[in-house]
Amino acid sequence: MTSMLATRDVIALAQQLYSLRHDGSQVLTVKLVAVPVALEDAIDVQSQLTKLEGADVNAWKVAKSPGGDPVAAPLHPYVANPPDVEIAWRRGMKIEVEITVELCQDLPVRTDRIYERADIEAAISNAYLGAEMVWSGISEGGTISFPAFLADRLGNMGYVRGPALPLTVLQPGTNTPLKVRLNGGVGFDAAGHHPTKDPLTWLCDYANNRSRPATVLTAGSIITTGSLCGAIDVSGPGDVSIKFGEHAVLNFGLSEAARQGG
């Protein structure tokens, strides 16, 4: 599909989404200054939004559109190994606990052959426990317009990367005990597992997307792979405590007057 939004509309929508995120406000999809139809337009808006936010860390989330198209969005703010950090809380925010991987080699766009799962595994040097904060300036999220949601960085509102995990957690069908506490209350307590049963599904699909930017999947990139617990509602600011398996623990705070750390 070819681009359909004029440059002025791309810039105007990016500025609107930036303002909504900054103010913690939401609008209905019909109140957007422009609604992208083509994924290419959504990615252009996303790129402009990323510049406005100053999101220059090479950290990404991968996902799939309702039509099956592999997509990605930058993670911002991205905080690694936080000793004491707080991320901005927004009304309606959700938390997704995920496995994050770090690439040790480039995965350039291939036109002659596809990436097999073994190729993706070979490009991963580390796995980590992580938590994504999900919130969109669009009230309906992606239910009305997925391209608009993609433009709004797939609802990413921050990411905290925690301790290293053994690479065995990336094997298909792996179920690991996961407990999430929000201000002391239990938000999730069950086996954590990826929606596709394989944490590398969406990364592999995105690697094989021949229209993706060549600069995304490069050595040193951090890629989060999808929620192990669905999306957990966060009713207010406070403490988040995550335990994955027997030993991996991640603690951080959500605050209305957030203090960002790195």
- The count of domains in the chain is 1
CATH number for the domain including 178? 3.90.850.10
Kindly list the distances between the CA atom of residue 67 and the CA atoms of 147, 212, 261, in Å, as whole numbers in the listed order: 11, 16, 37
Domain span at residue 204 reads 55-255
Q: What is the pLDDT of residues 95-122, one digit of tens each?
A: 999 999 999 999 999 999 999 999 999 9
Confidence of residue 260 (pLDDT cuts 50, 70, 90): very low
pLDDT score, position 215: 84
pLDDT of residue 256: 85
3-state secondary structure of 135: coil
Q: How many residues does the chain have?
A: 262
Establish if 152 belongs to a structural domain: yes
Tokens found for residue 9: 């509309």
The verdict on residue 70 lying in a domain is: yes
pLDDT score of 257: 59
Q: Is the pTM of this model over 0.75?
A: yes
- On whether residue 19 sits in a domain, the answer given is no
Contact, 181 vs 240, CB < 8 A? yes
10-14, 53-57, 87-91: least confident range: 53-57
pLDDT tier at 21, thresholds 50, 70, 90: very high
- Residue 3: band (very low, low, confident or very high) from pLDDT cuts 50, 70, 90: low
In a domain, 24, yes or no: no
Lowest mean pLDDT of 27-36, 148-157, 208-217, name the range: 208-217
The pLDDT tens digits for 155-206 are 999 999 999 999 999 999 989 999 999 999 999 999 999 999 999 999 999 9
Q: Is residue 45 part of a domain?
A: no
Residue 184 lies in a domain: yes
Dist CA 243 CA 104 (whole Å): 26
pLDDT at 259 over 70: no
Is 173 a member of any domain? yes
Q: What percent of the chain has pLDDT over 90?
A: 87
Q: Is 42 part of any domain?
A: no
What CA–CA distance (Å, rounded) separates 105 from 108?
A: 9
Question: Alpha-carbon distance 175 to 219, whole Å?
Answer: 28
